[in-house]
Amino acid sequence: MTSVIKYYEGINSIAVIGNYLPRQCGIATFTTDLVEALTAEAPGINCWAAAMNDKPEGYPYPENVRFEINQNKLTDYRTASQFLNISQPDIVCVQHEFGIYGGLAGSHLLKLLGDLRMPVVTTLHTVLKDPAPEYRAVMGKLADLSDKLVVMSHRAVDFLKDVYDVPEDKIVFIHHGIPDTPFIDSSFYKDKFGVEGKKVLLTFGLLSPNKGIENVLRALVAVIKKHPDLVYIILGATHPNILKFHGDEYRIMLQQMVLKLGLGEHVIFQNRFVEIKELCEFLGIADIYVTPYLEEAQITSGTLAYAMGTGKAVISTPYWYATEMLAEGRGRIVPFRDPEAMAEQIIDLLDNDIERHAMRKKAYVFTRDAVWKEVSRKYLQIFSEVRQTRTRNPRPRHSYVENIKAITHFELPEIKLDHLKAFTDDTGILQHANYTIPDRSHGYCTDDNARALLVAAIGQKYLLTNGFGLDSLSSHYLGFLLYAYNDENGRFRNFMTYSRKWMEEVGSEDSHGRSIWCLGKAVAFLDNPGHLAMSTTLFSKALRVVETFRSPRAIAFCLVGMHAYLDKFSGDSEVRRIRKVLADRLFEQFKNHASDDWPWPEDALNYANGKLPHALILSGHGLQRKDMIDMGLRALKWLLSITTEDKHFVPIGSNGWYEKDGPKARFDQQPIEANAMVEACVEAFNITRDQDWFENAAMCFNWFLGQNDLNMPLYDPKTGGCRDGLMADGINQNEGAESTLAWLLSLMTLQKFYADEILNQPLMRKQV
């Protein structure tokens, strides 16, 4: 017993953060197995889990899940850190995969870890070789926040040292855990599964298009000519996120391929998620296990580890983990997307029983260090060492110095897209509502579809993970904009009836400018190659006419869009030239019309006022024109001064607006005003780093949540939509597209801002 106790001396409680069964994914299986293995190896330790949820209602977890975190709700991470600090586990062990945590590149997790008082050991399930800047930043801070980083391949060790500059003494290699199963003959369970007398090829795991199973099917055509008794079992349910937004498209494609290739008697689909006991039985009947993945960038694979651990002969494509695990004769490697090479290796192994069995034995012996009993002991040893090191050398608690104190004055609601989806059909997003019901009598407009595209683009890039269907929504909105663009005159049409008839051939300058704004930002955010190409093409075509524009708002919208576009394609000289022309024009309009008491380019304030100073601030920054920045900041400060009363935002009402030297309309207050001010104030903060600007952004945002003249929220948490305005006699209860999009853009602006600030802040340490 003494030899075991040393592995966890001084450890009384362990909390593990990650996905957890019955959620269906590889991380959930790993986390569950790790908790159970630690409990079995050290029954005196209280080992429990904090589970990540990808849906608000969560899952029916077992008792050892003591806390649940909504992955996209920032406040849950703050609450989780409080819960962990109160519960006082000796160690927190994090299962890290970028996609299971919210925020830009999973940055919400950093908030949780930065507030913890106990040591953190992080298991990395993905290590990127060529990370985008945001992923590099998250990994760097994750490494600093962790006392140790556990990886499951030696290549991952090299990546951490060479790509991320992580000190070698912070990195620990521990095998991916596997169940301890006997080395049995493949015929042992075959009668149970109805494949006695057959040679069995097996692939298992959650089904998704990157698995490359179609290449195995193509290989089978040649294999069954030599081995007509072969059966290929494809075991696994479709990945839940793939199923939710793309259905069973991939499985159906594979099934149709089976029929087309005449493989119906040789392929068995097992469309289900199996528990570990049954999985081991399936592995037991396999003569050859195949992992035909399509890309090399996979640093670990639980399915491959399980197959080797049950003593299977393995054929794999050369992804990183496979090349390492199958070295020295422990398996066969074939090129990516090469059915002929796959067929050749399958036939060779089936023809050579002695070589196949020798390979099986090598794989089985090699993985004895990976059985969960051994893996759990290594984790316990690391936990104990980390705990002792922290005890001997206490260090201040990690935290981020947040220049965004105002964000703690309220909780940002979770982004909810139910209302957006309800208003979107196969044409686009509808304009108006009767209460929460789409009003089809008013049809569609380009303005709203452009803003809806922007919501979808920002969401995909920065905020929403594991689905939400935003890629599909982007297709609808881009399709609408493509149809709205009139090639004959180079302008966007704006209003369309529900019967899909345009009500004009040329929309307003403002609607065209708003389309430029949203397309330019979509170019900056979208990753889908087709969507990016379409957005870029439309942006470039639509930009040809804007040099003639005179409307200050249209010009401002165009400038904001061009600034975002140039973030992506900074070398586009034509866009740079047009930006300078329009920026100079807007600046001249301000200079020629502004006075000390009315620093504005028009004699009235009406709609989307914040967008004008926003455009000047951005353009001044891009053109290195301090005079433009100063004019924009001056105008924005003045605008705030006349729209702030008793520390709350009072936008200019649309029922009369505000004429110079005239009365200021108090109502109807519109969500578009709050949105324009939130975005402008955030940009002012980004340029100046003056905390007051973010305080003002927070104040304007809180207008949606009830910090307004009537102390009534416009945001509807039930639908995720926003009511249409603040009236003298109450709230306009209709939840149309413009108001909902204004709300979502404001919320996303602050969510994105918070994520960016975490990634840009230096990691500091605070005394506890």
3-state secondary structure 248-317: CHHHHHHHHHHHHCCCCCCEEEECCCCCHHHHHHHHHHCCEEEECCCCCCCCCCHHHHHHHHCCCEEEEC
Nearest CA to 378 out of 14, 38, 142, 89 is that of 38
**Which residues have C-beta within 8 Å of that of residue 428, sequence separation ≥ 6?**
444, 448, 449, 452, 476, 477, 479, 480
Mean pLDDT confidence for 152-172: 96
pLDDT score for 345: 97
Q: Residue 462: pLDDT band by 50, 70, 90 thresholds? A: confident
Higher-pLDDT residue of 757 and 271 is 271
Q: How far is residue 613's CA from residue 285's CA, in Å, rounded to a whole number?
A: 69
pLDDT score for 194: 86
Q: Express each pLDDT in 620-675 by its tens digit.
A: 999 999 999 999 999 999 999 999 999 999 999 999 999 998 999 999 999 999 99
pLDDT at 282 over 90: no
Mean pLDDT confidence for 556-566: 97
Q: Express each pLDDT in 514-547 by its tens digit.
A: 999 999 999 999 988 999 999 999 999 999 999 9
Percentage with pLDDT > 90 across the chain = 79
Q: Express each pLDDT in 734-753 by its tens digit.
A: 999 999 999 999 999 998 88
Q: Express each pLDDT in 55-90 by its tens digit.
A: 888 999 999 999 999 998 888 998 999 999 999 999
The pLDDT mean for the chain works out to: 91
pLDDT score for 566: 96
**Which residues have C-beta within 8 Å of that of residue 194, sequence separation ≥ 6?**
none
Per-residue buried b or exposed e for 199-226, using 16+ beta carbons within 10 Å of the residue's own CB: bbbbbbbbbbeebbbbbbbbbbebbbee
Which domains, from first to last, does the chain contain? 2-177+372-393 (3.40.50.2000), 199-368 (3.40.50.2000)
pLDDT score for 246: 66
The pTM (predicted TM-score) of the whole model is 0.80
Q: Residue 392: pLDDT band by 50, 70, 90 thresholds? A: confident
CB 126, CB 163: distance < 8 Å = no
Higher-pLDDT residue of 5 and 357 is 357
Q: How far is residue 444's CA from residue 427's CA, in Å, rounded to a whole number?
A: 9
Backbone angles phi, psi at 341, to 5 degrees: -65, -40
